[in-house]
């Protein structure tokens, strides 16, 4: 998976911190661009896609600890 | 309603899915049975025969409610022990020294006692576990679960209803053929009609207002079951050790009383749960209300609040006088989020499980909701722009 325009290193942070960081920074990329969250909290595997569903963004999948999100709005 | 206060529901208690306060009917029977049923039910004198009679009586009452024959029912030391004995004994009955079918089929949202026992079978009996996923509402697709059961399956396990989100499973729509089906009915028993098509059914008395330390293991007569433990004649050869006669009788009394009032209680609880499910997203932004909207247990509702730490939520609500539980990872000893929420694709942080006592009122619920709104708003302070 190619990394997005923005990479957020949230390793060592516990949920919900990586999700808060993602929400704070999603506006830093243009609509259509991707943000990659690096997170080693196991909850991120559920919570990144759930956040995308709730906030109307596209979850592109995970590559190990790297979760890719496309900004849709 | 109880006027002495001893068994009335504690105020602010919204965690009956973990354990229900003792039912008033159970309390009286527990005290009486402690006086009447103390003797050894395996002996042949008067007091022993009385204890045996009380135990048989308890079995008959429980059997009638769960749809079993009395001789199919054994009282165990807990619901977890019932699951362990049910799964291990059924697997042992179908396997001989590593031969025979080797797949244990389970839903992904079973109670951890079921998943841990499946893992134990993997380690010690060479089985493999086949997990069947669920939809976003937490429900297993009956066709997919049926498909996961084949000639190589030693045992299938599907809960009557989920303990974290309340979704009722389509147990009676599963076709198992000759493969035994274990149904964990811990969360449903006494609250909702139970499925009929089980081979083994397990339950736990403290979940329906009986005393702790009493589980139920029911094994259909036509199911091969072999004890995974050293031989012991107690508990019909199924559960080891001296029978807890007063506990069993109190459990039966609670189940009987609970089942008699089940429809009325469920109607009230459904109204309150529908109210919570509708009101929470109106009161709070960014909330994931979890579980099936209609095919659900009456007493239990779950939601997750974005950007909120689950442990902080539980702690702050406790400080405000409310007892709730959470499936968020920071509230679990393993620091992993609830496998149920994860399997459903639900938000796992900021999770709140609300489960109602039998006499919970609209006033109680509205007080809780006000506290939830207050706590979540405070915990989200500074994040308003997200």
Residues in B closer than 8 angstroms to A16, CB to CB, are 306-309, 349-350
Q: How far is CA B207 from CA B5, B18, B125, B176, in A?
A: 20, 7, 31, 28
What's the CA gap between B216 and B76, in Å, rounded?
Answer: 6
Cross-chain Cβ contact A54/B286 below 8 Å: yes
ipTM of the complex as predicted: 0.94
Q: Which of A42, A49, A50 sits opposite B329 (nearest CB)?
A: A42
- For chain B, what are the domain ranges? 24-260, 262-379
Please tell me the distance from the alpha carbon of residue A16 to that of residue A8, in angstroms, as a whole number: 14
Please give chain B's pLDDT, 386 residues, in tens: 444 444 467 889 999 999 999 999 999 999 999 999 999 999 999 999 999 999 999 999 999 999 999 999 999 999 999 999 999 999 999 987 667 889 999 999 999 999 999 999 999 999 999 999 999 999 999 999 999 999 999 999 999 999 999 999 999 999 999 999 999 999 999 999 999 999 999 999 999 999 999 999 999 999 999 999 999 888 888 999 999 999 999 999 999 999 999 999 999 999 999 999 999 999 999 999 999 999 999 999 999 999 999 999 999 999 999 999 998 876 676 778 999 999 999 999 999 999 999 999 999 999 999 999 999 999 999 888 88
Give A-chain residues touching B285 at CB under 8 angstroms. none
pLDDT score recorded for residue B5 = 42
Cα separation, B361 vs B272, in Å, equals 8
The pLDDT score that the predictor gives to residue B234 is 87
**Distance (Å) from the alpha carbon of A65 to chain B's nearest alpha carbon:** 15
Question: Could you tell me if B173 and B197 are in contact, meaning their C-beta atoms sit under 8 angstroms apart?
Answer: no
The answer to the question of residue A1 being in a domain is no
CA dihedral B352, B356, B361, B363 (to 10 degrees): -20
In sequence order, which residues have a C-beta less than 8 Å from that of residue B121 and are 6 or more positions away? B87, B88, B91, B104, B127, B129
Task: Return the exposure string of B205-230: e unless at least 16 CB atoms fall within 10 Å of the residue's CB, then b.
Answer: bbbbbbbbbbbbbbbeeebebebbee
Cβ-nearest to B383 among A14, A20, A53 = A20
- Nearest C-alpha of chain B: how many angstroms from A63? 18
Query: Rounded to a whole number, what is the distance in Å from the CA of A14 to chain B's nearest CA?
Result: 8
B286 contacts chain A (CB < 8 A)? yes
H/E stretch holding A55: helix A44-55
Residue B77 carries which DSSP code?
A: S
- Quick check: B346 and A46 CB within 8 A? yes
- Asked if B257 is an interface residue toward chain A (Cβ–Cβ < 8 A), one would say no
Q: Based on the structure, what is the number of domains in chain A?
A: 1
Nearest Cα to B59, choosing from B265, B235, B283, B183?
B235
Give pLDDT, residue A5: 81
CA closest to A17 among chain B residues: B307
Q: Testing the interface with B: which of A42, A44, A47, A49 to mutate, by most B Cβ within 10 A?
A: A47
- Note the pLDDT of residue A4: 56
CATH number assigned to the domain comprising residue A42: 3.30.110.40
B345/A51 Cβ within 8 A:
no
Tell me: pLDDT of A2 over 70.
no
Domain that holds residue A10: 6-70
A15–B306 C-beta distance less than 8 A: no
Residues A42-59: tens digit of each pLDDT: 999 999 999 999 999 999
Task: Give the CATH number of domain B262-379.
Answer: 3.90.1150.10
The CATH number of the domain covering residues in B24-260:
3.40.640.10
Question: Is the CB of residue B304 less than 8 Å from the CB of residue B346?
Answer: yes
CA angle B27, B32, B34 (to 5 degrees): 95
Contact assignment for A15 to B383 by CB distance below 8 Å: no
The residues facing B236 across adjacent strands are none
């Amino acid at each position: 998976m190619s990394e997005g325009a923005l990479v957020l290193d949230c390793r060592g942070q516990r949920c919900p911190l990586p999700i808060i960081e993602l929400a704070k920074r999603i506006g830093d990329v243009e609509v259509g661009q991707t943000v990659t969250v690096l997170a080693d909290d196991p909850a991120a595997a559920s919570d990144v896609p759930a956040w995308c569903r709730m906030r109307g963004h596209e979850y592109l999948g995970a590559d190990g600890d790297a979760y890719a999100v496309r900004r849709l709005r | 309603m109880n006027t002495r206060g001893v068994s009335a529901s504690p105020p602010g208690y919204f965690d009956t899915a973990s354990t229900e306060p003792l039912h008033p009917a159970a309390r009286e029977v527990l005290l009486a049975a402690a006086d009447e049923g103390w003797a050894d039910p395996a002996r042949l004198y008067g007091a022993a025969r009385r204890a045996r009679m009380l135990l048989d009586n308890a079995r008959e009452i429980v059997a009638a409610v769960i749809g079993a024959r009395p001789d199919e029912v054994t009282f165990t030391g807990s619901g977890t022990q019932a699951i362990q004995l049910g799964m291990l004994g059924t697997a042992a009955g179908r396997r001989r020294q590593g031969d025979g079918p080797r797949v244990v089929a389970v839903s992904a949202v079973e109670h951890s006692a079921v998943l841990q026992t499946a893992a134990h079978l993997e380690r010690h009996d060479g089985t493999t576990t086949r997990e069947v996923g669920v939809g976003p509402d937490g429900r297993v697709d009956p066709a997919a679960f049926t498909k996961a059961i084949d000639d190589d399956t030693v045992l299938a396990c599907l809960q009557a209803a989920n303990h974290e989100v309340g979704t009722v499973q389509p147990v009676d729509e599963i076709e198992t053929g000759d493969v035994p089906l274990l149904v964990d009915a811990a969360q449903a028993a006494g609250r909702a009609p139970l499925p009929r098509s089980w081979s083994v059914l397990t339950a736990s008395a403290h979940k329906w207002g009986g005393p702790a330390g009493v589980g139920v293991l029911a094994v259909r007569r036509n199911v091969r079951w072999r004890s995974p433990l050293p031989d012991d004649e107690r508990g019909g050869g199924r559960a080891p050790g001296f029978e807890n006669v007063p506990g069993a009788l109190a459990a039966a009394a609670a189940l009987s009383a609970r089942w008699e009032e089940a429809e009325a209680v469920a109607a009230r609880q459904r109204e309150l749960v529908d109210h919570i499910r509708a009101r929470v997203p109106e009161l709070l932004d960014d909330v994931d209300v979890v579980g099936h909207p209609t095919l659900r247990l009456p007493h239990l509702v779950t939601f997750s609040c974005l950007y909120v730490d689950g442990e902080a939520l539980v702690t702050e609500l406790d400080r405000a006088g409310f007892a709730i539980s959470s499936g968020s990872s920071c509230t679990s000893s393993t620091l992993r989020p609830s496998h149920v929420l994860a399997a459903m694709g639900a938000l796992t942080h900021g999770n709140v499980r609300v489960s109602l006592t039998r006499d919970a009122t609209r006033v109680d619920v509205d007080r809780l909701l006000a506290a939830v709104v207050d706590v979540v708003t405070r915990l989200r302070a500074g994040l308003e722009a997200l």
